Structure 1
Amino acid sequence: MLTALRHTIRKFHRDDKGAALVEVAIAAPLVLLLSAGVFEFSNIINTRLLLAAGVEDGARYMARCSDSNWNNCVTLGTNLAVNGAVTGGSARVTGWTTPEVQVTVAHTQAVDGSGNQLYLSNTGNVDVVKVSTTLPYSGGVFLGFLGFGTIDITVSHQERVFGW
């Protein structure tokens, strides 16, 4: 019986039929896992870039808004940030809404305490509008599979006010 077993093992020793199948069976899960990771990471980067473009557009609009009612400028600017148009438009990022956009206006000095010039101005103070948002990204099956929860994507942009 032991001799028959040795003979069977020797027969498989020189046989390389199916070696490619074994290699594919080992490599395929790793390649699929790597592909899923690349896809998920690129989706996160794309979402962050869309958020950044929206926040920059909104801040730029609000900094140059000439409407006498600041609340109207904020409403139009946040809609521009989220939907790509001051009125109407379609969402840049699924699930991103105007209440998630924070707008602050700071009355800041053009020159800091060390004498560094922060903003070019003929006055000592300038107004700066800052638009920021945080969006929880939970669209990843891959990240959920690895045990990650939601990832918060945070972007902000500030512009010196020229309007008003």
Structure 2
Amino acid sequence: MAERAQLRKRGEYRAWRAIATRWMDNDVYGHVNNVVYYSFFDTAVNAWLVEHGLLDIERGPLIGLVVETGCTYARPVAFPEEVQAGIVATKIGNSSVRYEIGLFVKGSPQPAAQGFFVHVYVDRATRRPAPLTPEWKAVLGKIAASTD
């Protein structure tokens, strides 16, 4: 078995979103089901993109397609706990971005989970990769990982 990767600390994330857990998120084992974590990731990143004027989900020329994803679970989360999702862009490419998301239970210094996904941005009509504009790269720079 491979050694478990070190999880990011709170201070390494650049943007935050509070997400309320719902009764239906719990599974028969009494904790939030693993697939719900991916919904939290999607909600945190896409809400940030919309709020910062990058993503117009109904009419924008670019849409993000998830091409890779993963998650490391550290501790269970259960309703009615509030999740605080931290976001950092760890790689901003020509037409793709790797986002890492840390999920913390409100008030906890340790992550409950850490995940990532890679969006490839494509033209809405053709579904072919499209380069990120300088505006996109500048805004994404606000949540880019520190290089020190």
TM-score (norm 1): 0.29
Which structure has greater strand proportion? 2
Structure with max Cα Rg? 1
TM-score (norm 2): 0.31
Which structure has greater helix proportion? 1
Structure with more relative contact order (C-alpha pairs < 8 Å, separation 6 or more): 2
